[in-house]
Amino acid sequence: MNDLETEQLLLKILQDFRTTDPLHSGLDYDEIKSRLMPFTVDEPGGIDAIVRAIDAYWDTSVNTGHPGFLRAFWGASEPASIVASLLSDVRNTTMHSFAVAPAATIIETEMIKAISNLAGFPGHGIFTTGGSNSNQMGFMCAREDALPGSSATGLNGQNLRAFASAEAHYSVEAAANMMGIGTDSLIRIPCINGKMDPQTLDEKIIQEKQNGNLPFIILSTAGTTVRGSFDDLNAISEIAQKHGIWHHVDAAWGGAALFSNKHSNLLNGIEKADSFAFDAHKMIGSSMVCSAFIVQEESILTQTMSHTNTGDYLFDDPNKKLSLGRISLQCGRRADALKLWFSWLELGKKGLGRRVDACIDASEHLAHLVEEHPQLSLVSFSYSNVCIRFTPQPNETIEQGNQRVRMVRNYLEDHAKCMILDSMLDNQLVIRFTASHPNVDKGATEVFLSNLIDANEKISL
Ligand SMILES: Cc1ncc(COP(=O)(O)O)c(C=O)c1O
């Protein structure tokens, strides 16, 4: 493909990008597959084949920028981050060594400092493959802190124990699994109104110590996945310090509030933690993926990643310390930090903060409407998460109420009105609404509400 053809295709994508597509195609697996075909060819198809493929992809993929796309913590990307992503593709490098990624290494280092600064951390960390991976890094650093040298020696027969709230994201189980300590070593602490109960946490730690086990990490959550609640970071830090245990904060979802003057207090106390996870690809709008693991102590990262000492052939710079591959779990790694950098340059902290405020305002508007609506009941509202049930019909059981939620959710998706999650909360299935991209504004929440009521009337149990 020559330069002109490449430009033609890029322009095609950018022109189509501005059109308003439906939420989804409504096609099933086989129909989508046949629209996308062929996947491989023997004879060259030229750019015409790519033009057809672009059109097929537009027609069959979900339009995540649609105001009815409410199913995830992200939507269409911030345009500046799309430009940054493209730029990093064009220069096509990997982040393992300063030699091959000098500019991107400096940008990543500065973005780590900037995110750290928002949270009162000194400025150390690394970009990762997402919040799940950042939580895993928290587990690994905590293990190294509890058992120095364990990156080489292993656990030496110690029974490690991790603690997280009952409402923490499932990536804590993934981290326990990958660490080789098993998911049974993760102790889920009950919540009070969605927040980890500090007293029970303290009691469980004492109990595990008495049983001869080694508590090594408390993972608290700033912005839980379903309810959007924030653990009491001050109280949990105090417990962590009392017992000498690593405190990691999963701020993958709620960390965006650090940009907002109005809402940053949700994360009060984060500066006392040992590490935290932050996803710029959620409410901040960077394109997938753009996530950071931030840590207080720089040295713990080099100790934890001691295996990189064997990759000396890669880290060939005169000053090896500059090579970020030395403190990363990945060898090949995209220059994701550019995406946050461009959005930050264009919009400033103020603009990114306004984006967060707008999402939370839209959710608050919906929460008020739900509270006042006779057919709906507001189960919880925190941050940008609004959890909704339908007012039970006479003699309706919890199970029938759950069925109603599931049927409404399916109806909304099948009729392309909106895509939304349902989830269990306090043993009841709820509709979980979140505003996480600017197209979900107050007007969009009113359309959502009327679709919800309409669907509830249309479904028959
Ligand atoms: C609280 C929380 N932590 C971690 C994650 C995982 O983030 P990622 O999808 O970037 O791995 C999520 C995802 O929604 C989340 O809600």
Q: Is the CB of 171 under 6 A from ligand 1?
A: yes
255 lines ligand 1 (CB under 6 A): no
Ligand 1 binding pocket mutation candidate from 132, 178, 191, 291 (most atoms within 8 A of CB): 132
What pLDDT is attached to residue 417? 94
Is pLDDT of 331 > 70? yes
> Which atom of ligand 1 is least distant from the CA of 132?
11
pTM of the predicted model as reported, rounded to 2 decimal places: 0.97
Both 434 and 386 in a single domain?
yes
Measure 88 CA to ligand 1 centroid, in angstroms. 24
Residue-averaged pLDDT of the chain: 95
Answer whether 221 contacts ligand 1 (Cβ < 6 A). yes
**Measured from the CB, is residue 436 less than 6 Å from ligand 1?**
no
Q: 332 CA distance to ligand 1 centroid (A)?
A: 22
Q: Are both 281 and 402 inside the same structural domain? A: no
Pick the closest to residue 375 from 364, 388, 385, 386 (CA basis). 388
C-alpha 241 – ligand 1 centre gap (Å): 26
In this structure, is residue 175 part of a structural domain? yes
Please indicate, yes or no, whether residues 226 and 363 belong to a single structural domain of this protein: no
pLDDT, residue 318, reads 73
Q: Are residues 54 and 161 in the same domain?
A: no
Does 387 reside within a domain? yes
Q: What is the DSSP string of 101-115?
A: -HHHHHHHHHHHHHH
The protein residue with its alpha carbon nearest to ligand 1, atom 4, reads 131
Residues 186 and 249 in one domain: yes
Residue 213 shares a structural domain with residue 115? yes
383 pLDDT more than 80: yes
Specify whether 255 is located in the same domain as 383.
Answer: no
**Alpha carbons 255 and 291: distance in angstroms, whole number:** 11
Asked if residue 74 belongs to a domain, the reply is no
Residue where one domain finishes, among candidates 317, 344, 371: 344
Nearest atom, ligand 1, residue 73 CA: 14
Q: Quick one: which of 420, 279, 414, 440 has its CA closest to 362?
A: 440
List, for residues 37-52, the tens digit of each pLDDT value. 999 999 999 999 999 9
Q: Please check whether residues 434 and 294 belong to one and the same domain.
A: no
Q: How far, in Å, CA of 363 to CA of 357, rounded?
A: 10
**Both 328 and 441 in a single domain?**
no
Strand segments, DSSP code E, in 71-196 are: 124-128, 160-165, 186-189, 191-192, 195-196
> Alpha helix locations (H) across 331-441?
337-372, 398-414
| 128 pocket-lining for ligand 1 (C-beta < 6 Å) | no
The protein residue whose alpha carbon is closest to atom 8 in ligand 1 is: 131
Please tell me the predicted confidence (pLDDT) of residue 460.
Answer: 73
Q: Tell me how far the alpha carbon of residue 371 lies from the centroid of ligand 1, in angstroms.
A: 28
- 69-120 pLDDT, tens per residue? 999 999 989 999 999 999 999 999 999 999 999 999 999 999 999 999 999 9
Residue 290, pLDDT above cutoff 70: yes
pLDDT at 16: 72
Whole-number Å distance, alpha carbon 228 to ligand 1 midpoint, is: 12
Q: Has residue 254 been placed in a domain?
A: yes
Alpha carbons 29 and 27: distance in angstroms, whole number = 7
291 lines ligand 1 (CB under 6 A): yes
The residue whose C-alpha atom lies closest to atom 7 belonging to ligand 1 is: 131
311, 344, 377 — which closes off a domain? 344
Structural domain containing residue 39: 3-63
Where do we find the tokens 């949270």? Answer: 119
For residues 182 and 176, the answer to whether their CB atoms sit within 8 Å is: yes
Residues 6 or more apart from 252 whose CB is under 8 A from it?
130, 131, 134, 135, 169, 223, 277, 278, 279, 282, 291
Round to whole Å and give the CA distance between 266 and 255: 9
Residue nearest to atom 5 of ligand 1 (CA): 131
pLDDT category at 13 given cuts 50, 70, 90 is: confident
Which CA distances in Å does 424 have to 347, 388, 393? 37, 11, 20
Structural domain includes residue 325:
yes
**How far, in Å, is the centroid of ligand 1 from the Cα of 150?**
27
**Residue 112 C-alpha to ligand 1 middle, in angstroms?**
19
How many Cβ atoms sit within 10 Å of the Cβ of residue 360? 22
- Best of 133, 178, 279, 283 for a ligand 1 pocket test (most atoms within 8 Å of beta carbon): 279
Is the minimum distance from the CB of 130 to ligand 1 under 6 angstroms? Answer: yes
Q: Is residue 259 part of a domain?
A: yes
CATH code assigned at 184: 3.40.640.10
Decide if pLDDT at 369 tops 90. yes
Peptide bond into 38 cis (omega under 30): yes
Q: Is the CB of 105 inside a 6 Å radius of any atom of ligand 1?
A: no
Residue pLDDT, tens place only, 137-165: 999 999 999 999 999 999 999 999 999 99
- The verdict on the CB of residue 226 being under 6 Å from ligand 1 is no
Predicted pLDDT at 18: 65
CA of 249 to the centre of ligand 1 (A): 12
**What is the domain count for the chain?**
3
Q: Determine the distance separating the centroid of ligand 1 and the alpha carbon of 373, expressed in angstroms.
A: 31
Distance 442 CA to ligand 1 centre (A): 25
Tokens of 398: 């919890």
For residue range 171-202, what is the model confidence (pLDDT) as tens digits?
999 999 999 999 999 999 999 999 999 999 99
Ligand 1 atom nearest the C-alpha of 72 is 14
